[in-house]
Structure 1
Amino acid sequence: MKFSAQAGSILLGCLLGFSSITANARPNIQPLPANIAQTGSAVYQFKTLEFDSKDRQRHYRVWLGIPKHAAPAQGYAALYMLDGNSAMSHLQENVLKQLSKSDAPVLVAVGYQSNLPYDVNARAQDYTPADASGKLQPDANHPERMTGGSAEFRQLLLDKIVPWVNQQTQINPQRTALWGHSYGGLFVLDTYLNSNYFQSYFAASPSIHWQNDRIQQMLNQATPAQLQHKHLSIIEGDVQTPVAADDQDKQIDELIDQNREIVRQLHRKGADVKLVVYPDLRHGEVFPASLLDVITEQRY
């Protein structure tokens, strides 16, 4: 994946205004301004629906963006984006207008019922895979956060959110994609192993070493049958974060080498996978860069 000149100009403008993650990768949790779904778009129509977790302890808001032009004969491509509140803050009208000139995708931002960019406790539970016990466990560094709920969140995504999206518009089942960053990238990798619904998976700066490299162990144990008929992109920046965040405490060279080894291992099993390294970007900066690149390049 490389930036086109067009995508690069859009990206530059968005990065200059990027404030939801600071340079040291620690989330800057400030209320968000009205997003494009609230202010309106000339080229996309937006719908919003709210969902609850099975235990009714976590509350989700899903923004669905549908191009205003007619669907292609086989249906629209669809991109599902995690950390939907923050993702929506980067969807600007100039980006959507550029999409509308070509094969514009349906955009699905899966967030939380909040005006903040992140719900750190909820995403810690929803985006992280359980250990062999299958049970939720407190985070070692933040005991107020539970972890290991990705299977339940994935069930909500696939059994509730996806059917709602499919009821609203015509989706091409051969062109569906899932994008996530950091813990969201961890969920993308976990879902890559445990679902065949999406055809393309984009894991941006995934928290590979979370819980002693649990996801790498899962990837190493994957069978070739789990990896067929879908594409995976692992995306990383090459600049070390000055002050390490909880999920970014390895040197960047180590993380890139670790990602390279994952790609090599998956290639040996016949997987369609690649590593993409963004020059001069830190962990937090990869969020908008990768999101806007995936949206504008539409490689799914």
Structure 2
Amino acid sequence: MTFQPNQPTSGTLEHIARSTVQIPRAEQWTMKSRHGNHAYQIMVFQPAEAPPPSGYPVIYLLDANSVFGTMVEAVRVQGRRPEKTGALPAIVVGIGYPSPGPFSPHRYYDFTPQTTTEYTQNSDGMPLPKQGGADEFLQFIEEELKPDMERQFQIDRSRQAIFGHSLGGLFVLHTLFKKPEAFRYYIAGSPSLHWNQNVMLAEEQEFVARLEQHPVNVKVWIGMGEQEKTHPARNNDKALSLTERLSALNQPGLDIKYTEFEEENHVSVLPFLISRTIRFACSPES
């Protein structure tokens, strides 16, 4: 990121040397999936602090084009003093797209289990992008991205988290229902539960039915902005109901909670979710 003022207001400013602002200890590269040949911009932050004997906790971050910097700065600052902040140093693996914008249309494909039957167009009237590739995207994460990260970095496989917002939050819950052993911590920010409603309900029921024979060991956190209550989708109500249904199961290995952030909306809630995620997924006591 480079700061370029429109016009210098002082003769002195004209002679100041400028340089690009970079995120410390972060790097990125393009990775193509074997299934589908989709291109992803992989962004990785590695802490300056030495790893624990078991390796660093790791946060896999969706929509990295929009929130990688926010997550990294939260991890970098909080991870310096775990005894004060309650957050260990962690690796952040951002999954983004080779696109200049904060959100790529391809996220509709990656984050949705099936093509929606409820909606035909965006709020701007344009047709929706292709959808229904969530299982393929999860396969890429599990079979290609994770092994590559574990070869390159010292990662504690028992301390893996996934963070997604909006449609990304929907994908987080889809992953929980379909492959709960993939992660220890699931953070679904403002999940788009109005999308694929019948599909997600069926996945939830299958997940619950498997719990007796296949208990889980996961911590799930759903966070929403208070102002999202006014949206016709009613996703706050849907998220709270989901939390209550899963909590009522009293499964010892399933820890789920719901938080609503006062005076925040669907987008402004993101920094609050990210800051809280560090303590949720990287606590020394977890």
TM-score above 0.5:
yes
Contact 1:237–1:283 (CA under 8 A) maintained in structure 2: yes
- Describe the superposition over 1:93-132 as per-residue Cα deviations: whole angstroms up to 9, x where unpaired: 576133223321111111011221110x20000001127x
SS in 1 for 2:50: coil
More RCO (CA 8 Å, sep 6+): 1
- Counterparts in 2 of 1:219 and 1:39: CA distance versus 1, 3 Å: same
- How far the C-alpha of 1:258 sits from its partner, in A, is 2.1
Moved over 4 A (4+): 91-95, 136-139
Q: Distance in 1 between matches of 2:279 and 2:202?
A: 33
SS in 2 for 1:96: helix
Contact 2:71–2:274 (CA under 8 A) maintained in structure 1: no
Contact 1:127–1:183 (CA under 8 A) maintained in structure 2: yes
| Match of residue 216 from structure 2 | 228
| Match of residue 188 from structure 1 | 172
- How far the C-alpha of 1:268 sits from its partner, in A, is 3.2
- Counterparts in 2 of 1:137 and 1:212: CA distance versus 1, 3 Å: closer
- Describe the superposition over 1:227-282 as per-residue Cα deviations: whole angstroms up to 9, x where unpaired: 6111111111111377x5xxxx324xxx3332222112212332321111111111
2:142 maps to amino acid: L
| Match of residue 176 from structure 1 | 160
- How far the C-alpha of 1:51 sits from its partner, in A, is 1.6
Contact 1:130–1:147 (CA under 8 A) maintained in structure 2: yes
RMSD: 2.6
Matches for 1:78-157 after TM superposition, within 5 Å: 78-91=58-71, 93=73, 96-102=76-82, 103-119=88-104, 121-130=105-114, 140-142=120-122, 143-157=127-141
Q: Give the gaps of 5 or more residues in structure 2.
A: 1-18, 83-87
Contact 2:74–2:275 (CA under 8 A) maintained in structure 1: no
Q: Give the gaps of 5 or more residues in structure 1.
A: 1-33
Q: Distance in 2 between matches of 1:190 and 1:259?
A: 13
**TM-score normalised to structure 2 length:** 0.78
| Match of residue 183 from structure 2 | 198
Give 1 or 2 for the bigger CA radius of gyration: 2
| Identical pairs, percent | 26
Q: Distance in 2 between matches of 1:94 and 1:80?
A: 14
Matches for 1:250-289 after TM superposition, within 5 Å: 250-251=233-234, 255-269=235-249, 270=251, 271-289=254-272
**TM-score normalised to structure 1 length:** 0.74
Which of 21, 32, 36 aligns to 1:55? It is 36
| Paired positions, count | 248
